[in-house]
A and B are shown apart, each in its own frame.
Chain A
Amino acid sequence: MYSMLIKLELKQMLRSRWMQLVGVLFTFVFTAIIVIQQMALPDVEGFTRQTASFLNVLLFLLPLFILTIGSMSVAGDVESGWFSLLKTYPMTRKQYIAGKYIASVIAFLLVVVVAFGVILALGGFLGGVRLPFIFIILTLLCILIFVSLAIAVGAFAKTRLFALSLSLVFWSIFLLLISYALMAIGTVVAGHVLQKLTIIAIHINPVEWLRFGYFIFTDQASVLGPAFYKITQFYSSPLGYAVYVAVTLLWIICPLAYARLLLTSFSERS
């Protein structure tokens, strides 16, 4: 019954025109940027424009696609009555959410694997492209965190249109608005205040969290500047790694738990 649900969800997900379009778009943009950069620039270790754009494309596109598609899929279930129908089966809210989560993660993994496959194939044809291991891990984490967020957004929105707009709001807050707010605050407050606010932002913004993780795990923490020496030192220690994993898990579990809460109260009301 349970694996049936995952299969069904996955099938719906992969069938959706939107998902297929996203797959093509993601692959195209990603490949174009990476391969062009790779061809034009010399090969250098460390943080360069090439790695920066790699990271940025990942952080820009993947959360956008996951948030919109994921949230709309959950909200669509509620809107179309499919969720109410599922309730008549012997299945708990928890199982529904877990099934949705696993199906979505698999679907987005497929998209990413297609994209990486094309990059490798084309890059290999043009002389070899570097796809660092940490990027693959980061992509995985990105999918795991944002699918969870997307489900929470969808459960909150309950209609497809609201889910879409809410996703866009969240996406722009995570990607842009928090950073811009910090930068604006930084022009008036002291350096150490900005530094502390930034550290808070790293923990409450999954996009910053992933970006921060990139610098920590590639041993390039110095890119972030001397002001962040202490915190990067901490996160580069074994204890820091453990905390990183713990916070990442929180980012996955909390939204799912919240979504369950929302759906439970919804089904009790209806």
Chain B
Amino acid sequence: MKKWMMIVMLSCGVLIGCGERTYEPREIVSETDVCKICNMSIVHNEYAGQIALKNGDYEIFDDIGCLMEYIEANGEDEIGAAYIKDAAKNEWIDVFNASYVYSKDYWTPMNYGVVAFDSKKAVQDWMTKEGEGQLLAYKDLHDFKWGIHE
């Protein structure tokens, strides 16, 4: 019986151990992934976000606004890494170091109008194409008023 317990404990340990330390972003599975906050399925991949929790679970979001709502509700302690898609390149970038730009005329899945990029330069390129917006950094997102703005 003790041997059994050992095996169970060990395998639990191994399972928990997997995926620890490095928090790689995972691929979106469009058949099953829905936003943790608003439950919308992820169809606009270029705006999607995800959080790799320290326990190895992933939470997927359809919009940076939903991701921020999750962080506001649950704090940053359990977060191993957080990623958001660079809207121009459609690649995962770090939420905490990304450059953001907001305009009420940008469309996003939740229509919050905040788009993420890997550099200020990419933001400039976006603005020349899609119209002027207001530059934001990650810390500005905390007290950003999510919702549509008249």
Tell me whether A and B are bound partners.
Answer: yes
**Which of A28-36, A117-125, A148-156, A192-200 makes up part of the contact surface?**
A192-200
**Which of B51-59, B89-97, B130-138 makes up part of the contact surface?**
B51-59
Instruction: Give the chain A neighbours of B25 by CB distance below 8 A.
Output: none
Is A189 in contact with chain B by the CB < 8 A criterion?
Answer: yes
State whether A229 and B29 are in contact (beta carbons under 8 Å apart), knowing that A189-B16, A192-B19, A193-B16 are contacts in the complex.
yes
Task: Give the shortest distance, in Å, between A112 (CB) and chain B (any CB).
Answer: 34
Chain A: interface residue total (CB-CB under 8 A): 11
Inter-chain pairs besides A192-B56, A193-B16, 12 sampled, C-beta below 8 Å: A185-B12, A189-B12, A190-B56, A192-B55, A192-B57, A193-B12, A193-B15, A193-B55, A196-B15, A197-B12, A226-B33, A229-B31
Task: Tell me, in angstroms, the Cα distance from A23 to B88 when the chains sit together.
Answer: 68
Residue of B nearest to A230 (CB): B29
> Quick one: which of A177-218 are within 8 Å of B by CB?
185, 189-193, 196-197, 200
* Secondary structure type dominating chain A contacts: helix
Residue of A nearest to B31 (CB): A229
Q: B29 to A197, Cβ gap below 8 A?
A: no
Is B74 in contact with chain A by the CB < 8 A criterion?
Answer: no
Instruction: Give the chain B neighbours of A191 by CB distance below 8 A.
Output: 57
Q: B32 to A229, Cβ gap below 8 A?
A: yes
Task: Tell which of B11, B31, B53 touches A190, judged by Cβ atoms closer than 8 Å.
Answer: B53
Q: A190 to B32, Cβ gap below 8 A?
A: no
> Quick one: which of B1-43 are within 8 Å of A by CB?
11-12, 15-16, 19, 29, 31-34
Instruction: Give the chain A neighbours of B31 by CB distance below 8 A.
Output: 229
Instruction: Give the chain B neighbours of A189 by CB distance below 8 A.
Output: 12, 16, 55
Task: Tell me, in angstroms, the Cα distance from A229 to B33 when the chains sit together.
Answer: 10
Task: Tell me, in angstroms, the Cα distance from A66 to B34 when the chains sit together.
Answer: 43
Q: B57 to A190, Cβ gap below 8 A?
A: yes
Instruction: Give the chain B neighbours of A229 by CB distance below 8 A.
Output: 29, 31-32
Instruction: Give the chain B neighbours of A226 by CB distance below 8 A.
Output: 32-34
Task: Tell me, in angstroms, the Cα distance from A39 to B58 when the chains sit together.
Answer: 44
> Quick one: which of A244-264 are within 8 Å of B by CB?
none
Task: Tell me, in angstroms, the Cα distance from A191 to B53 when the chains sit together.
Answer: 11
> Quick one: which of B52-69 are within 8 Å of A by CB?
53, 55-58
Task: Give the shortest distance, in Å, between A229 (CB) and chain B (any CB).
Answer: 5
Q: A193 to B32, Cβ gap below 8 A?
A: no
Residue of B nearest to A222 (CB): B32
- Some 10 contacts from A to B, beta carbons below 8 A apart, are A189-B16, A189-B55, A190-B53, A192-B19, A193-B12, A193-B55, A197-B15, A200-B11, A229-B29, A229-B31
Task: Give the shortest distance, in Å, between A104 (CB) and chain B (any CB).
Answer: 30
Residue of B nearest to A226 (CB): B32
Instruction: Give the chain A neighbours of B33 by CB distance below 8 A.
Output: 226
Residue of B nearest to A196 (CB): B15
Instruction: Give the chain B neighbours of A196 by CB distance below 8 A.
Output: 15
Instruction: Give the chain A neighbours of B34 by CB distance below 8 A.
Output: 226
Q: B55 to A190, Cβ gap below 8 A?
A: yes
Task: Tell me, in angstroms, the Cα distance from A191 to B57 when the chains sit together.
Answer: 6
Residue of A nearest to B59 (CB): A191
Instruction: Give the chain A neighbours of B11 by CB distance below 8 A.
Output: 200
Task: Tell me, in angstroms, the Cα distance from A237 to B19 when the chains sit together.
Answer: 28
Instruction: Give the chain A neighbours of B56 by CB distance below 8 A.
Output: 190, 192-193
Residue of A nearest to B33 (CB): A226
Residue of B nearest to A197 (CB): B15
- Central interface residue in A185, A193, A226, by most chain B CB within 10 Å: A193
